[in-house]
């Protein structure tokens, strides 16, 4: 297996510290409110835009921060360390939506859309449907050619950022008989007639992050809003999700780190039987195992991100990152509740929230089973 590349540049260290300060000072005081209201306040999202977190890789000529993919991963990790739900808009915006434009957008599309995404417009990635989750490319949303336009009709489900989004990357098929070769990616503006955002799901975890249905009722989309080429949507989605899985890994790395830090602090303060509970070997071993697991995830995550930046293959590393990170996040969050004891299962304790937040990572952007399929396929093709 390739060696992890984890050295930080000075710029990355400064950036990471800036995001950490923002998360601790601006997000932490509002976590309980956001969880209770199942909503992320617009003013907080605006602060993320102002800080450059919603356009990290967008070139400066389009109003972005001109940063790197690795910096996006660092930002996601640091935000998730305080609240995984707060990290999701930044993750989706950078690793899925902006990435689509940077890779496959025309000069005209970059000019029209990247400045909006850098300044104040949240993007959403609309792929999943009721009958196409893991089997994502059995989607039914149709795109019918009509002169210089396409007419899109269908329903998307479980779409992150949908409630706040101003732009949607929508996947639809121009030819159902062609299977995945008919799938095409379209840029759809929220203001286009016929697009509506439906109910917001009442979720187990990451409650402040919106997850909604998106309804397309004969939405007229100009052909110049096709991302890539007609019939190329399958390729766009697969390659983008390979990167998105590293982002999910960063979410879960941040979650596990935050859960562990809280448990360690509690173990140093809580007394039982005349001593700090952190002095008991059983607690020490539990924390040692959690710390080792978190370090393992960090190596996977950073290595996959560095490989992507270096132009090396990273599909297997991305899948491994998501697989390991999603499992470790749930396991670490659960074991940290053991450190807290009774208070750990109450709403007063963030460990309870971290455990609920962790579960979704084993589902979205490719389930655990799909990651295993991908890893097995690549191992059989390339060797260990």
* 5 or 97, higher pLDDT: 97
Kindly state the percentage of the chain with pLDDT values over 90: 95
- State which of 121, 138, 168 marks the end of a domain: 121
Question: Looking at residues 186-191, what average pLDDT do you find?
Answer: 98
- Whether the CB-CB separation of 242 and 232 falls below 8 Å is answered with no
Same domain? For 80 and 101 the reply is yes
Domain match, 240 and 352 both? yes
Question: Rounded CA gap, 325 and 333, in Å?
Answer: 12
Determine, yes or no, domain membership for 2.
no
Q: What's the confidence (pLDDT) of residue 6?
A: 62
**Shared-domain flag, residues 191 and 266:** no
Convert the pLDDT of each residue in 283-322 to its tens digit.
999 999 999 999 999 999 999 999 999 999 999 999 999 9
In a domain, 176, yes or no: yes
Same domain, 303 and 369: yes
Residue 181, pLDDT above cutoff 60: yes
Residue where one domain finishes, among candidates 121, 145, 171: 121
Dihedral sign for Cα 222, 225, 231, 237, please: negative
**Tokens coding 274:** 């005349």
Domain carrying residue 376:
234-382
Tokens of 23: 């998360």
User: Running DSSP on this structure, what letter comes out for residue 277?
Assistant: G
372 and 239 within one domain: yes
In a domain, 346, yes or no: yes
- Per-residue pLDDT tens for 268-286? 999 999 999 999 999 999 9
pLDDT band of residue 3 (cuts 50, 70, 90) is very low
Whether residue 4 is predicted with pLDDT greater than 80 in this model: the reply is: no
Residue 3 inside a domain? The answer is no
> Do 256 and 357 fall into the same domain?
yes
CATH number of residue 93's parent domain: 1.10.540.10
**SS3 call for 67:** coil
**Residue 51 has what pLDDT?**
98
Q: What is the pLDDT of residue 343?
A: 95
Supply the pLDDT for residue 136: 80
- φ, ψ of residue 189 to 5 degrees: the values are -80, 140
Give the model confidence (pLDDT) of 359-377 as tens digits. 999 999 999 999 999 999 9
The domain boundary residue, chosen from 121, 145, 178: 121
Q: Are residue 216 and residue 286 in the same domain, yes or no?
A: no
**Cβ(173)–Cβ(141) below 8 Å:** yes
Q: Please determine, for residue 238, whether its predicted confidence score (pLDDT) is greater than 50.
A: yes
- The count of structural domains within the chain is 3
Query: What are the tens digits of pLDDT across the range 63-110?
Result: 999 999 999 999 999 999 999 999 999 999 999 999 999 999 999 999
List of residues 6+ apart from 87 with CB closer than 8 A: 75, 76, 77, 79, 80, 250, 251, 254
Residue 5 counted as domain residue: no
Would you name the residues annotated as active-site residues?
Answer: 365
CATH code of 154's domain: 2.40.110.10
pLDDT at 2 over 50: no
Q: Are 66 and 59 in contact (CB under 8 A)?
A: yes
Residue 371's CATH number:
1.20.140.10
Is 88 inside any structural domain? yes
Whether residue 96 sits in one domain with residue 30: yes
**pLDDT > 90? residue 164:** yes
Q: Is the separation of the CB atoms in 187 and 114 below 8 Å?
A: no
Query: Do residue 240 and residue 226 come from a single domain?
Result: no
Structure tokens at 195: 């697009």
Asked if residue 226 and residue 248 are part of one domain, the reply reads no
Question: Is the pLDDT reported for residue 259 higher than 80?
Answer: yes
∠ at Cα 29 (39, 85), nearest 5°? 40
In a domain, 47, yes or no: yes
Q: Is residue 1 part of a domain?
A: no
Six-digit token string for 267: 């173990």
CA–CA distance, 160 with 270 (Å, rounded to integer): 39
User: Domain check: are 142 and 113 in the same one?
Assistant: no
pTM for this model (two decimals): 0.96
Crossing angle of helices 69-82 and 233-269, rounded to 10°: 40
Confidence of residue 135 (pLDDT cuts 50, 70, 90): confident
Q: CA dist 147 to 226, 249, 284, Å?
A: 14, 43, 68
Using CA atoms, how far residue 379 sits from 1, 206, 353, in Å, is: 11, 33, 36
Residues 238 and 368 occupy one common structural domain: yes
CA separation for the pair 87, 287 (Å, rounded):
25
């Amino acid at each position: 297996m390739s060696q992890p590349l984890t050295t930080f540049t000075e710029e990355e260290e400064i950036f990471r510290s800036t995001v950490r300060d923002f998360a601790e000072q601006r997000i932490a005081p509002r976590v309980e409110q956001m969880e209770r209201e199942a909503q992320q306040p617009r003013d907080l999202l605006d602060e993320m835009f102002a800080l450059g977190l919603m356009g990290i890789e967008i070139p400066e000529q389009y109003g972005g921060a001109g940063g790197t993919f690795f910096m996006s991963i660092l930002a996601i990790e640091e935000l998730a360390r305080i609240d995984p739900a707060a990290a999701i808009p930044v993750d989706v915006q950078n690793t899925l939506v902006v990435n689509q434009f940077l890779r496959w957008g025309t000069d005209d599309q970059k000019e029209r859309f990247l400045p909006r995404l850098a300044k104040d417009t949240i993007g959403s990635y609309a792929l999943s449907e009721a009958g196409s989750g893991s089997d994502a490319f059995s989607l039914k949303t149709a795109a019918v050619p009509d002169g210089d336009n396409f007419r899109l009709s269908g329903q998307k489900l479980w779409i992150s950022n949908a409630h706040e989004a101003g732009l949607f990357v929508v996947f639809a098929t121009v030819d159902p008989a062609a299977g995945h070769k008919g799938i095409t990616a379209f840029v759809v503006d929220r203001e286009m007639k016929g697009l509506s955002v439906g109910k917001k799901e009442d979720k187990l975890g990451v409650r402040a992050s919106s997850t909604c249905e998106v309804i397309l009722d004969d939405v007229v989309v100009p052909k110049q809003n096709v991302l890539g080429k007609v019939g190329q949507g399958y390729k766009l989605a697969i390659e983008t999700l390979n990167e998105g899985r590293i982002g999910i890994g960063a979410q879960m790395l941040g979650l596990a780190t935050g859960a562990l830090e809280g448990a360690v602090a509690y173990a140093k303060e809580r007394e039982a039987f005349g001593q700090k509970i952190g002095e008991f070997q059983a607690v020490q071993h539990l924390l040692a195992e959690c710390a080792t697991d978190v370090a393992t995830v960090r190596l996977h995550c950073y290595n996959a991100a560095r490989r992507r930046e270096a132009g090396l293959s990273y599909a297997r590393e991305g899948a491994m990152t998501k697989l390991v990170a999603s499992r470790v996040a749930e396991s670490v969050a659960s074991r940290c509740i053991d450190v807290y004891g009774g208070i750990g299962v109450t709403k007063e304790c963030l460990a309870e929230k971290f455990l609920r937040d962790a579960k979704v990572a084993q589902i979205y952007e490719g389930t655990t089973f799909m990651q295993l399929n991908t890893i097995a396929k690549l191992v059989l093709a390339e060797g260990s």
